[in-house]
């Protein structure tokens, strides 16, 4: 509980004790003097309400009159005035403010609880970096460390900046980023990202990014800005409250004036006090706290709960979109498959297999693509970059290079066609890299990529929760793509695509889909940034450490488990269900109580329930969005 909340709790307890003491005292001893009773009841009233009265006064001065503070101030002060006039009870005036503040404290605590789930993610922010300079260690601010510097991270410390391990080995706690408790082992040469906690030995890391571009900074920026992107439901509530409050104030004034004036005009008693009391009751009932508080809180709790699971949502608008996803489009490599390729077959033509792999490895020497890495791994020797010249990467086709003075092309069939090389198509299941040397076809290398263990289950679960169509887009050969799609149970597959082809297909699907449907594209966030941005909701799978994932996607799954997508959609669907429940419940009860108040059936005590009671119930319902274990 915060300082402010503790102070409010003390005020509530003090006011409650004084109020109850006065009620008990009056039960046994009558206080006939109205002004003495007024003075006695004003003590607990002012203790509990002085901040509300102050805010209402400031709102009037600043010409921002119509808010809940104004409604509560007018209603409670009106009740006090009526009690003075009639020498009646002051209990209602004090009770209105007391219960309202109890509801506000409850709501504040609920927001704080939800905020702490996001604040837990903020613990990944590093406070310092141990910089190695001339053999000495200096503790500095992370944002002063330059790229290429060597930092030292001891056991128990956070990794402050992305880099590569250059000395030592350890295990890392990535739970703050991925939501997974299983530590990750790393050794020399492995990439490590900021925000993870070093669990064992002291290690040295050579930084590869500035702090501002590191994973931890990108994630914190994403989470801090999440509240700025409101959903349609949340924006509707904001607009609703803007018009609703002045409307009910005008309605209350009309209720206080029109019936007694009409009654007087007809020659009947005016009953001013009765209608003013009803108008004040109408104001208390009309306070839109439950709606204005619970809807944003539901989204906030949903985003907070997701962050604990390693699912980063950039705003409530994407919670709403995720809940309506009926078409899921996937990239293949690194999303549905492991992305860890290995050479499974070598098909030489008039060349030794070792020489074919050597040409392939040298042509792919400068590429960081998983396929290139697998070929270099199969070659198994150090690359002599002095033997390589004039490297050209042709998007969606492959690479060409001059190796030992020979022109080498390594890529798919489209590259062979572009180089006017006659080749024999290979029917191996896997990604086939065709190799040509000086315009002569020299064979092919087959690389296979296995689906992730949870991919098939994820596709099945998506269909269970209402995703009607699953689609896979890939640059791989048609045979490979169909093999993976059949094994995973994917409905539709498009193969041999360039990055621009993927975007064109997604745009075509967006045009054809029903207006109520939403399309999600799930990719690795590196090569698929245009498609991630173009979809209704872009989801970066395996976005750990990927700048493109964090920047281009609307939702980032901080590990590469496809089942997290299912959890994200389930979470968003439940969050939207809670939002709708709160809207229907709050508006329904308000409407009923407003009618009862206008006709005189509802008194101020019912008004208190309609305001504070409904708010508390709605807030309790809203914080359910935080809990994700059973999803």
173 carries an active-site annotation: no
Q: Per residue, what are the HEC states of 301-337?
A: HHHHHHHHCCEEECCHHHHHHHCCEEEEEEECCCCCE
pLDDT digits 0-9 by tens, 227-283: 555 556 656 666 666 677 778 778 888 888 898 888 888 888 878 888 888 887 777
Q: Beta strand 170-173 with 197-198: parallel, antiparallel or unpaired? A: antiparallel
Q: Please tell me the distance from the alpha carbon of residue 72 to that of residue 68, in angstroms, as a whole number.
A: 6
Q: Please tell me the distance from the alpha carbon of residue 330 to that of residue 154, in angstroms, as a whole number.
A: 39
CATH number of 311-338+451-558: 3.40.50.1000
Beta strands in 397-459 (DSSP E): 398-403, 406-411, 431-437, 440-448
Q: What integer pLDDT is reported at residue 342 of this predicted model?
A: 82
**What's this model's pTM, rounded to 2 decimal places?**
0.66
Residues near 536 by beta carbon (within 8 Å), at least 6 away in sequence: 321, 325, 510, 518, 519, 520
pLDDT digits 0-9 by tens, 509-530: 999 888 888 999 998 755 677 7
Identical fold for domains 146-209 and 311-338+451-558, yes or no, is no
Return the CATH architecture of domain 342-448.
3-Layer(aba) Sandwich (3.40)
pLDDT digits 0-9 by tens, 367-399: 877 788 889 989 989 899 999 999 998 877 889
Mean pLDDT, the chain, rounded, equals 82
Q: What integer pLDDT is reported at residue 175 of this predicted model?
A: 66
pLDDT digits 0-9 by tens, 123-149: 566 778 999 887 788 888 888 898 999
82-91 in b/e burial notation, b at 16+ Cβ within 10 A? Answer: bbeeeeebbb
| pLDDT bucket at 32, cuts 50 / 70 / 90 | confident
Domain boundaries, the chain: 3-119+228-299+574-626, 146-209, 311-338+451-558, 342-448
**For range 420-432, the mean pLDDT:** 86
* Block residue for tokens 């299941």: 429
pLDDT digits 0-9 by tens, 175-189: 666 655 567 788 888
**Candidate list 67, 162, 173, 331, residue with the active-site label:** 331
Q: Which CATH class is domain 146-209?
A: mainly beta
Residues near 276 by beta carbon (within 8 Å), at least 6 away in sequence: 78, 82, 256
403, pLDDT greater than 90: yes
* Cβ contact 180:174 at 8 Å: yes
Residues near 357 by beta carbon (within 8 Å), at least 6 away in sequence: 343, 346, 375, 378, 379, 445
Give Cα separations from 468 to 326, 465, 513 (angstroms): 5, 9, 11
- Residue 166 is encoded by which pair of tokens? 């250059």
């Amino acid at each position: 509980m915060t300082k402010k909340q503790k102070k409010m709790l003390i005020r509530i307890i003090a006011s409650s004790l004084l109020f109850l003491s006065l009620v008990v005292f009056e039960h046994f001893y009558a206080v006939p003097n109205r002004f003495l009773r007024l003075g006695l009841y004003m003590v607990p009233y002012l203790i509990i309400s002085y901040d509300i009265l102050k805010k209402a006064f400031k709102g009037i001065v600043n010409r921002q009159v119509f808010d809940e503070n104004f409604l509560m101030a007018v209603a409670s002060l009106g009740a006090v005035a009526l009690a003075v006039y009639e020498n009646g009870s002051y209990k209602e005036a004090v009770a209105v403010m007391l219960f309202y503040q109890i509801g506000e404290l409850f709501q504040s605590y609920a927001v704080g609880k939800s905020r702490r789930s996001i604040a837990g993610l903020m613990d990944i922010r590093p406070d310092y970096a141990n910089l190695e300079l001339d053999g000495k260690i200096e503790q500095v601010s992370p944002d002063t460390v330059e790229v290429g510097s060597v930092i030292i991270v001891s056991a128990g410390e956070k990794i402050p900046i992305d880099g590569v391990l250059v000395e030592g080995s350890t295990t890392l706690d990535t739970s703050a980023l991925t939501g997974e408790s299983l530590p990750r082992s790393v050794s020399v040469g492995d990439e490590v990202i900021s925000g993870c906690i070093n669990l064992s030995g002291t290690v040295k890391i050579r930084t590869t990014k500035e702090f501002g571009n590191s994973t931890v900074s990108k994630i914190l920026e994403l989470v801090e800005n999440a509240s700025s992107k409101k959903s349609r439901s949340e924006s509707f509530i904001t607009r609703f409250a803007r018009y609703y409050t002045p409307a009910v104030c005008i309605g209350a004034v009309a209720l206080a004036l029109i019936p007694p004036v009409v009654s007087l005009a007809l020659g009947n008693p005016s009953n001013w006090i009765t209608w003013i009391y009803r108008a004040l009751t109408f104001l208390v009932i009309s306070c839109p706290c439950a709606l204005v508080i619970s809807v944003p809180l539901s989204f906030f709790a949903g985003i907070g709960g997701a962050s604990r699971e390693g699912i980063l949502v950039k705003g409530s608008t994407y919670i709403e979109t995720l809940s309506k996803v009926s078409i899921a489009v996937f990239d293949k490599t690194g999303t549905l498959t492991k992305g860890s390729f290995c050479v499974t077959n070598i098909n030489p033509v008039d060349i030794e297999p070792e020489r074919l792999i050597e040409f392939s490895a040298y042509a792919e020497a400068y590429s960081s693509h998983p396929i290139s890495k697998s070929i270099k791994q199969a070659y198994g020797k150090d690359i002599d970059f002095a033997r390589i010249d004039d490297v050209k990467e042709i998007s969606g086709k492959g690479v060409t290079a001059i190796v030992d003075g020979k022109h080498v092309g390594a890529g798919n069939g489209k590259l062979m066609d572009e180089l006017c090389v006659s080749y024999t198509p290979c029917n191996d299941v896997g990604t086939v890299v065709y190799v040509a040397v000086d315009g002569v076809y020299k064979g092919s290398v087959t690389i296979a990529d296995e689906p992730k263990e949870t991919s098939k289950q994820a596709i099945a679960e998506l269909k269970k929760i209402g995703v009607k169509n699953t689609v896979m887009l890939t640059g791989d050969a048609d045979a490979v793509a169909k093999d993976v799609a059949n094994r995973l149970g994917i409905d539709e597959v498009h193969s041999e695509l360039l990055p621009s082809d993927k975007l064109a297909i997604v745009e075509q699907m967006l045009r054809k889909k029903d207006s109520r449907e939403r399309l999600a594209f799930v990719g690795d966030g590196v090569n698929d940034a245009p498609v991630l941005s173009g979809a209704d909701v872009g989801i970066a799978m395996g976005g750990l450490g990927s700048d493109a994932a964090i920047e281009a996607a609307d939702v980032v799954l901080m590990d590469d488990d496809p089942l997290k997508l299912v959890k994200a959609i389930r979470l968003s669907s439940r969050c939207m269900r809670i939002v709708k429940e709160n809207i229907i419940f709050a508006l329904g009860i308000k409407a009923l109580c407003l009618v009862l108040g206008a006709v005189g059936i509802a008194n101020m005590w019912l008004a208190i329930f309609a305001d504070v009671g409904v708010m508390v119930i709605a807030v309790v319902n809203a914080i359910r969005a935080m809990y994700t274990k059973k999803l």
